[in-house]
Structure 1
Amino acid sequence: MFFKTAAAAVVGFALLYASVNGSGVFCPSSVGKQYFGYKQVTGTNKYFYATIEADQSPEKAPTFLYLPGGPGQSSIGTIVTDIGPCTLKSDGKTLQANPFSWTRTANGIWIDAPGNTGFSAGPTETTVTNWVNDLFLAFTEILKERPSLNTEIYLMGASADASSVSMLMQIIDSRAAINVKGILIMSGMMGPLNIYRGSIEMAGKRRLVSAAALQKMVQLFSKCKAAVQSCQPATAGGEPNPDACQKATEVCNSATVPFVEDAGHSIYDLRVKPGEESKYFKTRPGNPGTFLNLPNIQRQLGVSKKWVELNQDVFAALVKYASYNTTFSVTNALDNGIKVLVIAGDQDYTTNAGGALGWMTRLSGRSAQYGAVLAAAKDEPIKVGSEVFGMMKSGKFPNKATFTYIKVNNAGHMLVQNQPTGMLQVMQMFLRGEI
């Protein structure tokens, strides 16, 4: 496949590569212009990023930042597998137009973070504060360089990055003139006690494990609860204790994960055995590692590093913070009139829908009792064509904030792969203010 040569320029302290005439390395047939390069965030860390303009009226289109989770999962990889203008064919080398592209009507920003994730370089940040601050620095530098993207911003985070985008919003609120309108949380690991409790409740209700195993899970949960409380800082938004968080995550995982996996269920999709999650994927792109490690692709991107989808060192260093309760940042966003949409799949065990609704209905801020209003809201079906995509409940508030929960039918942890049409539609509705 033919790729046009990228034009390179030095911008500030970042090397920027720009697509020519709208086409580019991530999708030669793309209408939207593509820009990519590095942003130096500290003396030792530089983050790789990409921006792709919307196919339709990019100067008027909203802009999303997309972070896929992990921690340590490359955001760049999702451009050619999930939501970019092109996806990979099965050979992992050839691109094709993506019918589920999120950049049809929106500008997109992708950042490989934290630490050495994806094409980024540098040591893994040692604290949550440093991690989110570096993300903030990269994001603000991108918007300074591309001010046309700072129209209406939506922060989107999946799994572990639900916390990243929520805490990023808190920093933006106090330090930057960025026009954030909403936060989209997908399969989010937030409200850890509610998520862990929800897993055990799910195991019981769906009879995923034996009665004896369930009893053991319930017993272990009391230790999990105490450990999670030890992980939390003295005040919301403070720095969590890394050693206590490490212990909490280990204790809570031991109470929830092995029993279900030993019974033959994937914690990412309860319909299948571990490792068989792709059975229910409606999209099956080629291997992004094949494409992103091709010499000609790396030359066009201006990189010289072996790309891996999930950096195991970053994951090992930061997964401990799964037990850190970051829901305070969602409350802060709502208090500031931000729209928040939380989406969870009905077949996801590890970041289950019941746990998500649990932490959501407990939130209370200075402007409103967000959780109580959401709990009292009616469940309404949301349709994609003639099919019910899921059930939705929502609360609206005088300060223009909205707080919405969607439980997606027939979807596990990987929402975009399980329900690409529905996720595209819901994302577009959210950006249009219809949710």
Structure 2
Amino acid sequence: MKNFTVLLLMSVVALLIDPSHQLSRHRNLSEIVEKRRSSVERKPKEWTPPSISTQNSSALNHLYAQEGLQENDKIISLPGQPKDVTFAQYSGYVTVDSKAGRALFYYFAEASQNPNTKPLLLWLNGGPGCSSFGVGAMTELGPFRVQPDGATLSSNPYAWNQVANTLFLESPAGVGFSYSNTTSDYENANDDNTARDSYTFLLNWFERFPQYKNREFYIAGESYAGFYVPELADTILKNNNSRTSFINLKGVMIGNGIINGETDHCGRIDYVWSHALMSDEDYANERCSASNSTYQTDIHTFHAQLQSYMGEINPYNIYALLCPSHPNPIWRSSISTDATLANGLDGYDPCTPGYVLTYLNTPKVQSALHANVTSLPYVWTECSNVLSYNSLDVTTMLPVYQRLIAARLRILVYSGDVDATVPVTSTRYSINALNLPIEKAWYPWMDGNIDVGGYSVIYKGLIFATVRGAGHQVPSDQPSRALTMTKYFLAGKPLPS
């Protein structure tokens, strides 16, 4: 049995680091963009937050006793972590539906200095179905990076817990270490259920960690979290009407997130062409505009065509390398230097997801994390292979953005400018569709004294920023610029010019 488990894990690792797997993950998100776009043509569907904070609501019926669980969740030490770790770490499960046996896994790293005065920031990865812990914490903004041996950790010098207490949620059930004892939950996942469970998670988590109940709270995320984040924020605002359910939400950050089907699609076509990844002739056949689309191609046919235009490149960062199927030590030793010279990527390694997969499927690591692997019908993977997500229940976030702006939330929408999956053109088209007045026109923002971190526009109610040289996962590609951007956002300041 042990040998079988090892062989299974090795096959999963090989699948993850294979370039074809990276491209298929891109196609999954791309298909969602196109489906949302075609749905917009038929009949736009707006998202309405569920009412779940009345006295007889399902959410308050799902408030469970939390006494003693904070201390139980404390991580003594992660295997292979550096010796100089001074901040507290927690991980474990919050039950969101005891009848269904549905529980969501979280990882929490307190701020490395002055945690009692720092805000609380929740990070959500997209997919839908990708792990906020394995991707967000372990490859992007968390305090550690997994080394190529899959067994040891190094400190991330640009970790966001320098500026906030950082909470990572694996949602919905079926993602990462989160699970349900009702298998139909994996088949019925959608935006409504995800927002409801995430909200219920927060109500219970604040009961478990009462010291954070009135703390300034922010939600951040990327990719499909372009829907997750505003939906959860909208749900919080709608239900902030009692002392039991009040959450001190101050703002949201959304990176390379899908926003609106039509503009997302048009932005992708224009981006691929403008970055010399498509011929003029093909662009003439495929191009569209938000007001007059000429795109008629079947979704699957379109994906095959788009992939043939771009070839075997990393669509999440068009200038980065793909991880080879069998990286050797010589290649691995040169990858960081080569990537830094070519792209300005600090410590970038495209094989990192494979290292994380090995680490998080190690029994002693799972034990340290309090992961209930006996309840999982699967091994841990970066993105769920059991989830069947209905991504057509909502087609646009624009009305939700309008509600968040009206509620005077602090909003930062940012884009890594070398992402072809949800590119900066898509984001700009979507923001333009909001027709917001400009308070400060386009300007270069600085990361330090001489480094242009990107460009920014301050609208009434929303800040837009690009991150120069970053792809879909900004904190991975440009960690210093991502940390600077977050620091200024949490301080309520525009990016430095």
Task: Name the CA shift for 1:213/1:14 in 2 (closer, same or farther; >3 Å).
Answer: farther
Is contact 2:436–2:459 with CA below 8 Å preserved after alignment? no
Whether 1:70 and 2:127 are equivalent positions in the alignment is: yes
Aligned counterpart in structure 1 of residue 411 of structure 2, from 340, 352, 374: 340
**Mapping of 1:2-401 within 5 angstroms?**
11=66, 17-19=72-74, 27=81, 29-42=84-97, 43-44=99-100, 45-77=102-134, 78-122=136-180, 123-124=185-186, 125-150=188-213, 151-176=215-240, 177-218=246-287, 251=298, 254-255=301-302, 258-264=305-311, 265-271=313-319, 279=339, 280=343, 281-283=345-347, 284=349, 285=352, 287-303=355-371, 304=373, 305=376, 306-314=379-387, 316-320=388-392, 324-363=395-434, 371-374=435-438, 377-385=440-448, 386-396=450-460
Amino acid in the other structure paired with 1:181: K
Shift of residue 318 of structure 1? 4.0
Shift of residue 251 of structure 1? 4.4
Deviations 1:158-186 (A, max 9, x none): 10012101100111001131111110001
Shift of residue 332 of structure 1? 1.1
Shift of residue 111 of structure 1? 0.8
Cα separation, 2, equivalents of 1:88 and 1:272 = 19
Shift of residue 256 of structure 1? 6.2
Shift of residue 354 of structure 1? 1.5
Cα separation, 2, equivalents of 1:55 and 1:434 = 22
Task: Name the CA shift for 1:253/1:69 in 2 (closer, same or farther; >3 Å).
Answer: farther
Is contact 1:343–1:405 with CA below 8 Å preserved after alignment? yes
Cα separation, 2, equivalents of 1:195 and 1:16 = 44
- SS of the aligned residue for 1:333 comes to helix
Corresponding residue for residue 49 of structure 2: none
Corresponding residue for residue 236 of structure 1: none
Task: Name the CA shift for 1:60/1:251 in 2 (closer, same or farther; >3 Å).
Answer: farther
Shift of residue 273 of structure 1? 7.3
Amino acid in the other structure paired with 1:180: L
Task: Name the CA shift for 1:266/1:225 in 2 (closer, same or farther; >3 Å).
Answer: farther
Amino acid in the other structure paired with 1:113: S
Deviations 1:318-347 (A, max 9, x none): 4556x7212222211111010110111221
Shift of residue 87 of structure 1? 1.7
Shift of residue 395 of structure 1? 2.3
Is contact 2:417–2:466 with CA below 8 Å preserved after alignment? yes
Task: Name the CA shift for 1:178/1:261 in 2 (closer, same or farther; >3 Å).
Answer: farther
Query: Aligned pair count?
Result: 388
- SS of the aligned residue for 1:412 comes to coil
Is contact 2:142–2:156 with CA below 8 Å preserved after alignment? yes
Give unpaired runs (5+ residues) of structure 2: 1-64, 241-245, 325-334
Amino acid in the other structure paired with 2:415: A
Shift of residue 390 of structure 1? 0.4
Amino acid in the other structure paired with 2:422: T
Shift of residue 417 of structure 1? 1.6
- SS of the aligned residue for 1:378 comes to strand
Amino acid in the other structure paired with 1:287: Y
Give the TM-score taking structure 2 as reference length. Answer: 0.71
Task: Name the CA shift for 1:257/1:318 in 2 (closer, same or farther; >3 Å).
Answer: farther
Is contact 1:209–1:260 with CA below 8 Å preserved after alignment? no
Give unpaired runs (5+ residues) of structure 1: 1-9, 228-249, 364-370, 397-401
Cα separation, 1, equivalents of 2:468 and 2:252 = 22
Cα separation, 1, equivalents of 2:81 and 2:320 = 33
- SS of the aligned residue for 2:160 comes to coil
Shift of residue 197 of structure 1? 0.6
Is contact 1:159–1:187 with CA below 8 Å preserved after alignment? yes
Task: Name the CA shift for 1:307/1:211 in 2 (closer, same or farther; >3 Å).
Answer: same
Structure showing greater relative contact order (alpha-carbon pairs closer than 8 Å, 6 or more residues apart): 2
Shift of residue 317 of structure 1? 2.4
- SS of the aligned residue for 2:233 comes to helix
Shift of residue 27 of structure 1? 4.7
Cα separation, 1, equivalents of 2:304 and 2:222 = 20
Cα separation, 1, equivalents of 2:305 and 2:70 = 45
Shift of residue 253 of structure 1? 6.5
Cα separation, 1, equivalents of 2:418 and 2:221 = 19
| C-alpha RMSD of matched pairs (Å) | 3.0
Whether 1:416 and 2:487 are equivalent positions in the alignment is: no
Deviations 1:216-252 (A, max 9, x none): 313799998899xxxxxxxxxxxxxxxxxxxxxx945
Is contact 1:266–1:275 with CA below 8 Å preserved after alignment? no
Shift of residue 26 of structure 1? 8.9
Shift of residue 254 of structure 1? 4.5
Task: Name the CA shift for 1:33/1:199 in 2 (closer, same or farther; >3 Å).
Answer: same
Task: Name the CA shift for 1:388/1:127 in 2 (closer, same or farther; >3 Å).
Answer: same
Deviations 1:88-122 (A, max 9, x none): 22211111221011112210111111120000002
Cα separation, 1, equivalents of 2:80 and 2:490 = 24
Deviations 1:182-209 (A, max 9, x none): 1000110111211111112223333421
Task: Name the CA shift for 1:205/1:82 in 2 (closer, same or farther; >3 Å).
Answer: closer
Corresponding residue for residue 368 of structure 1: none
Give the TM-score taking structure 1 as reference length. Answer: 0.80
